[in-house]
Structure 1
């Protein structure tokens, strides 16, 4: 009986470790406050690994939330605080077909019109944006890959979306005033 209980305890401990590794908590440290996000490695493994590689490299340090649209989203992770474009790794495969939805507080990969063009930029949905969800594997249906959710700091997202916006750098509009700086993004343990 003692051996069975020991084995059961080991199995439970191992299972908890596996489940814990499926969620990766990060903290986005901004000039407006911190946003904590749980990244979902189970549903979006390539996307999470992509972001973690940028975090490990310190890529996001002193970048900006350069695009802010109230009632839509805040976007960052590709431009310096001087609004200069940063060089990135090659694009990753779009994982929007993972069942996760673009709802308030979800984090998703920004991309161009090419469904498989996401690199470092991400956005946090300010509201439910179901029109960004995956509908099919056609060019128009791919959607935007959600890979996590905000666990605290939506008040910071709300504060950012309430900032006035205008032109800045190469952008004719939607740049928050003052510019919101991503001081760093760190993995929390």
Structure 2
């Protein structure tokens, strides 16, 4: 009898673990003047952030925007400004999904925001290092991670090592613009 229950339990574990590992998360290919990278989006743990990002992708919003903030060893940030530093008009902000179990570790993508925890709209950043200081704490909101770079990490690192300089209100603007040329949903 014990062997029977162990067999049933083992079978159930195999079925459920197999279905979890085959879950298809959306992937988005981002082609820039520095090269291409692919992000895989976790729509199970960050459904609002992923839906928001995909709406911007589908509308073509990110095309011809730049990575306007590059802080070596920290983050690269983009999705809000054209190459001539004109702000793109974004849709209304979304609720903060930090605390979803995803952390700001190296090569994750997250929603950029202001000091207001629920102010994220179009801008995103990619972590160049483990930045757990951006994760939520008991006394404050964090920054919502919604996926990770699964291909082209060397492109992200290259962008992260670009020379920067201040210009107007931009403190870490790449000297040579990194422009997003094309963004497509792969699956």
Structure 1 segments unaligned to the other structure (5+ residues): 1-10
Give the superposition deviation at 1:135. 1.6
Task: Please state if 1:57 is matched with 2:59.
Answer: yes
Equivalence for 2:161 = 162
Task: Please state if 1:185 is matched with 2:187.
Answer: no
Equivalence for 1:44 = 46
Moved over 2 A (4+): 167-170
Q: C-alpha offsets along residues 131-158 of structure 1, whole Å, 9 cap, x if unaligned?
A: 000123x5xx111000000001111111
- The more displaced of 160-169 and 68-77 is 160-169
Equivalence for 1:130 = 132
In 2, the alpha carbon distance for the partners of 1:116 and 1:185 equals 25
Given that 1:83 and 1:170 are in contact with CA atoms closer than 8 Å, whether structure 2 keeps it comes out as no
In 2, the alpha carbon distance for the partners of 1:148 and 1:168 equals 30
1:184 counterpart SS class:
strand
Which residues in structure 2 correspond to 1:112-123 (within 5 Å)? Answer: 112-123=114-125
How many residues of Structure 1 are paired with residues of Structure 2 in the alignment? 170
Equivalence for 2:112 = 110
Task: Please state if 1:152 is matched with 2:148.
Answer: no
RMSD, aligned α-carbons: 1.7
Task: Please state if 1:81 is matched with 2:83.
Answer: yes
Structure 2 segments unaligned to the other structure (5+ residues): 1-14
In 2, the alpha carbon distance for the partners of 1:112 and 1:76 equals 14
In 1, the alpha carbon distance for the partners of 2:23 and 2:31 equals 26
Give the superposition deviation at 1:169. 5.1
TM-score relative to the length of structure 2: 0.86
